[in-house]
Amino acid sequence: MTRAREFFRQALQQLRLTKRRKHHFREKIDLYLERLKRFPGVRKSGVSSGGVGVVLLPWLQTAVSMYSLECARKLAASGVPVTIVWDPTDIFGCASNAWEVEQLERVVDAVRSEFEVINAVNASEDDSGASAFLSELALENAVQKQRGEEGAEEMLAQNPNLEQAMKAHTAKVRGLLRKRAFDWLLLPGGVWGTSGIYAGVAREIGLSVTTYDSGPSTLFIGQDGIAAHACNIGEVTNELLKEMAGNPAERRRITEISQRQIEIRMRGQDEFRLQPVASGSTRWQWDIVVALNLRWDSAALCRRHLFASVGDWLAQLVAWVEAHPMARLAIRQHPCEKLATHRGTDDFGKLLARHPRLADRATYISAHDTINTYDLMAGAKVVLPFTSRVGIEAAMLGKPVILGSRCFYEACGFTSSPATIDDYFAAISEALDGKRIVSEESRERACVAYYLTECCLDLKTRFTAEPLDYAAWVRESPEKIWSEPQNEDLLRVLTCREPLARVLYRRLTGATAPPLN
């Protein structure tokens, strides 16, 4: 039906009986060019060093670059020295084609009257860095491309030009950033494609970075980390714990809110409704519960630590359980993989078939199984997450949590992060023997981290790069956009470089914010 409709639409266009539709990305570009004429910005002043470098990248024909530019224009209007770094390089398909780049260059040319523009393609190469991050970045981008670990290494082996292109461009980015000496960067993403190179080089040379990510009417921001990794939740959790040491009433308030929220999720009544049934079953008694992430999602990319891959982690864990006859293991696939739009290509359940001696001591619970994750945790002796917030919830429920990954709550004081693989399995053994008791203090710490994750992780705003949001704000005046309370918070996060969670916590509690500089 869709093909027939498209055939008749094209036929009508050829007969000039209907207007030819403008390409969706061309329309985005034209709308922004109209915006630049309607709302002219501050004229540029020479900036030779320092200030913020706002990185513009092709991003699969979305409004990401226009969103970055709008933030740049507000920063400039607020007195922040801004330089535009335009990088049309296609790494791992971030630029869909040359036409997308041509369209974006129309916008880049139009803002040259407002900003100094540096083209990264023309930067001098600097090969002095170790580029230690590149091998991981390449593999994780392959995982994203394959929608899972299966076939990722083969993809890189069959396309050596991918890593070679990343290495060559890393030298250019390093040369540009070292020469230009920005105070900080504003960068979309930070893991995928070209954005991952900027984030990696910035870490390598000690350059501060603000990253952002978005969903429909939802904005995530990370200071000196990756927004999709919830990178500032840990530090803000520890700050609040110190502040609340003498404020038991606030600590109780946060604990009560966290308990109410986890109960909603346990019933499967939260926003995403991923649990297939409400919790309450006591039939599941698995000693070790593994809570998997959606592997190809940005939240799980570049988070490996002790193990070479999630597959390696699970393979070693299954072998360990096989060698310990008293242990029972349940591996829980992320419930979102029941959705066709999110489904990955990995089938980690196949690992169990390689260990027939396990018999019924291990099980793989797919996203389609009508089992509530919280019922699994209720019967567990230890919970092993990757980077899922299930790890926070498990600690709230009094379960020991052991991490083998770089996780956003690892420094909050309610989990264990062993230094080696041997230590990791020793910690699991101790938990199974009942030697790792979760204290009341640890549970309260988990409640604070959970409160921030549930209530202060993201900004609810129509000012994002998402298609419907962009179509609305691109027609609005800057004054209207930035006068909205949530975007006032965004401006503070950008100009003062505060963690978003801290700013949102302050707004929720009615605390007075320090004046903007």
Residue 40 lies in a domain: no
Q: Which residues pair with 214 in a beta bridge?
A: 219
DSSP structural state of residue 16:
T
* CA Rg value for the chain: 25
- Mark whether 203 and 316 lie in a shared domain: no
- Domain of residue 343, residue span: 234-455
Residue 142 lies in a domain: yes
- Mark whether 493 and 422 lie in a shared domain: no
Count of the separate structural domains present in the chain: 2
Q: Which residues pair with 186 in a beta bridge?
A: 54, 210
- Mark whether 151 and 162 lie in a shared domain: yes
Q: Say if CB 469 and CB 481 are below 8 A apart.
A: no
State CA 204 to chain mean position distance. 20
What is the token pair recorded at 460? 């609810």
CATH at residue 385:
3.40.50.2000
- Mark whether 211 and 251 lie in a shared domain: no
- Mark whether 362 and 225 lie in a shared domain: no
CA distances from 124 to 82, 157, 176, 356 (A): 21, 29, 7, 57
- Mark whether 348 and 241 lie in a shared domain: yes
64's enclosing H/E stretch is helix 64-77
Q: What is the 3-state secondary structure (H, E, C) of 131-144?
A: CCCHHHHHHHHHHH
pLDDT in tens, the chain (517 residues): 344 554 555 555 566 665 567 899 999 999 999 999 999 988 776 677 899 999 999 999 999 999 999 999 999 999 999 999 999 999 999 988 999 999 999 999 999 999 999 999 999 999 998 888 999 999 999 999 999 999 999 999 999 999 999 999 999 999 999 999 999 999 999 999 999 999 999 999 999 999 999 999 999 999 999 999 999 999 999 999 999 999 999 999 999 999 999 999 999 998 888 899 999 988 889 999 999 999 999 999 999 999 999 999 999 999 999 999 999 999 999 999 999 999 999 999 999 989 989 989 999 999 999 999 999 999 999 999 999 999 999 999 999 999 999 999 999 999 999 999 999 999 999 999 999 999 999 999 999 999 999 999 999 999 999 999 999 999 999 999 999 999 999 999 999 999 999 999 999 998 877 776 5
Q: Which residues pair with 220 in a beta bridge?
A: 213
What is the token pair recorded at 65? 């670059």
Measured CA to CA, the distance from residue 36 to residue 107 in angstroms comes to 9
| Helix 440-455 / helix 233-243 crossing angle, nearest 10 deg | 120
For 418-455, the DSSP string reads -SSHHHHHHHHHHHHTT-----HHHHHHHHHHHHHHHH
pLDDT of residue 511: 80
Q: Say if CB 183 and CB 191 are below 8 A apart.
A: no
Residue 401 lies in a domain: yes
**CA triple 24-28-30, angle to 5 deg:** 115
Q: Which residues, including other chains, have CB under 8 Å from residue 165's CB and lie 6 or more apart?
A: 91
Q: Helices (H), strands (E): how many in the chain?
A: 20, 11
pLDDT of residue 45: 66
Look up residue 463 and give its amino acid.
F
**Per-residue model confidence as pLDDT tens digits over 360-376:** 999 999 999 999 999 99
Q: Say if CB 340 and CB 143 are below 8 A apart.
A: no
pLDDT of residue 18: 55
Query: Residue 133: what are its φ and ψ, rounded to 5°?
Result: -80, -15
**Per-residue model confidence as pLDDT tens digits over 44-79:** 766 778 999 999 999 999 999 999 999 999 999 999
- Mark whether 105 and 194 lie in a shared domain: yes
pLDDT of residue 10: 57
Residue 514 lies in a domain: no
Measured CA to CA, the distance from residue 463 to residue 471 in angstroms comes to 10
Strand 184-188 and strand 116-119: the pairing is: unpaired
- Mark whether 214 and 245 lie in a shared domain: no
- Mark whether 199 and 54 lie in a shared domain: yes
Residue 360 lies in a domain: yes
Q: How many CB atoms lie within 10 A of CB 462?
A: 18
pTM over 0.85: yes
Residue 446 lies in a domain: yes
- Mark whether 301 and 409 lie in a shared domain: yes
> 225 exposed, middle or buried (CB, 10 Å; 0-12, 13-18, 19+)?
buried
Measured CA to CA, the distance from residue 55 to residue 345 in angstroms comes to 32
Largest pairwise CA distance in the chain: 79
pLDDT of residue 20: 63
Measured CA to CA, the distance from residue 237 to residue 449 in angstroms comes to 5
Query: Residue 281: what are its φ and ψ, rounded to 5°?
Result: -80, 140
Q: Say if CB 272 and CB 476 are below 8 A apart.
A: no
- Mark whether 72 and 218 lie in a shared domain: yes
pLDDT of residue 44: 72
CATH at residue 202:
3.40.50
- Mark whether 147 and 60 lie in a shared domain: yes
